[in-house]
A and B are shown apart, each in its own frame.
Chain A
Amino acid sequence: MCTMICEQSEIAGSGKGTDGWFPLKRVNVSYDHPFNAPWEYGVNIDFVNPEIGMGARVAVELSPHSAKQLADTIISALKKGEADPQIKVSVL
């Protein structure tokens, strides 16, 4: 492991892997070597469910700039959705 930087969080949701949809339990966000993206270091996001097995993983590898854009985009969408009085969120 070259940076050892990995943040984790428990999450709820669904991810689509090679065998179809599965329930997500955790997200692992590392700043380390990607497997496929062309740069030496990047932000690697794994949506996983360890209870199902190692293959229950939806992987995304982003450049640091793209990862910041994604974080901002998520926050922006959340703000709009949470401000909409017609949307009743059933699960938080």
Chain B
Amino acid sequence: MYTTDQFEGMIAETITVKGHGGNAINTYFARPEGPGPFPSVVVIHHLPGWDELYREFTRRLAHHGYLAISPDLYCREGKGTPEDVAAAVRADGGVADEQVMGDLQGAADYVLSLPTSNGKVGVFGTCSGGRHAFLAGCLLNVFDAVVECWGGNVIMDNEQLTEKQPVSPNKYTGKLSAPLLGLFGDLDQSPTPEQVNQHEKELKAAGKNIEFHRYPEAGHGFLYYDRPIYHQSSAVDGWEKMFKFFSRHLS
């Protein structure tokens, strides 16, 4: 709980860490000033790229006391505006799941190596990043809490599988190794409410520690205040649930 007599400070900057294959990748790293120890969160950007919105999300987590690190998952594509880079990635069929997992592992390893870390790290993502967050919770044995916001294509048909996304993420449900918070809008088309129900059913059947929340008046991307799809009451409640969830599992 913040009180007005508290000192507050933050450092936010671009740094390079080792990602998939030992490649140097850019990340945006925001952290509170002070000795810590602080919990960490890896912040996974969405389809439109490593953009200003995600820098703000990263700083918001730091503002709430987390070492927050957001890797540029598109950095191997080249340099340009976030939109131009994301458009190139979109045309290229997205980024490979294996590569993303390597980059997320690298970001998590980096923050955990810091003397200011409390040894716990969560992961958060929206849209394609929500899908990546779920995958990371299943495939990487490093995260202590997973927040999946409306992950599109967590359930994929065989026709949707590609060389870069060779397995439907829900096939890994049994491997989920951390508590999961899922936030979804009932008006979303990807994932549809039916897919969210199936996702939840599979997680429960596997005996996983999950918490799903559905917002009846929200669609896809209801946290995005810069888009018409922003839904104020759902967004406020979603952030609140997210911070409580991270506080519970990363403290």
Contact = CB atoms under 8 A, between A and B. Distances in A.
B47 A33 contact: yes
A41 to B, nearest CB: 7
A57 B127 contact: no
Contacts of B93: 1, 4, 6
A41 B64 CA distance: 32
Nearest to B130: A2
Contact of A35 (B48, B160, B165, B228): B48
Instruction: List 3 tightest A-B contacts by C-beta distance, closest first.
Output: A54-B80, A2-B152, A1-B94
A47 B142 CA distance: 41
A15 to B, nearest CB: 13
Interface of A: 1-4, 6, 8, 26, 28, 30, 32-33, 35, 38-41, 44, 46, 48, 50, 53-55, 57, 59
28 contacts: A1-B47, A1-B89, A1-B93, A1-B152, A1-B153, A2-B127, A2-B152, A2-B153, A2-B220, A3-B153, A4-B94, A6-B90, A6-B91, A28-B87, A28-B90, A28-B91, A30-B90, A35-B83, A38-B228, A40-B229, A44-B90, A46-B91, A48-B91, A50-B88, A54-B78, A54-B80, A54-B88, A55-B81
> What DSSP secondary structure best describes chain B's contact surface?
loop
Contacts of B248: none
A57 B80 CA distance: 11
Most chain B C-beta atoms within 10 Å of own C-beta, residue among A2, A6, A40: A2
Contacts of A55: 80-81, 84
A18 to B, nearest CB: 10
A41 B219 CA distance: 12
Interface in B64-121: 77-81, 83-91, 93-94
B190 interface: yes
B39 interface: no
A32 B190 CA distance: 10
Contacts of A33: 47-48, 127, 220-221
Nearest to A50: B88
Nearest to B80: A54
B220 A40 contact: yes
Contacts of B48: 33, 35
Contacts of B23: none
B27 interface: no
Given A33-B127, A48-B91, A2 B85 contact: no
B80 A1 contact: no
Contacts of B160: 4
B128 interface: yes
Contacts of A44: 87, 90
A21 to B, nearest CB: 17
B127 A53 contact: no
Interface in B198-228: 219-221, 227-228
Contacts of A54: 77-81, 84-85, 87-88
Nearest to A39: B228
B233 interface: no
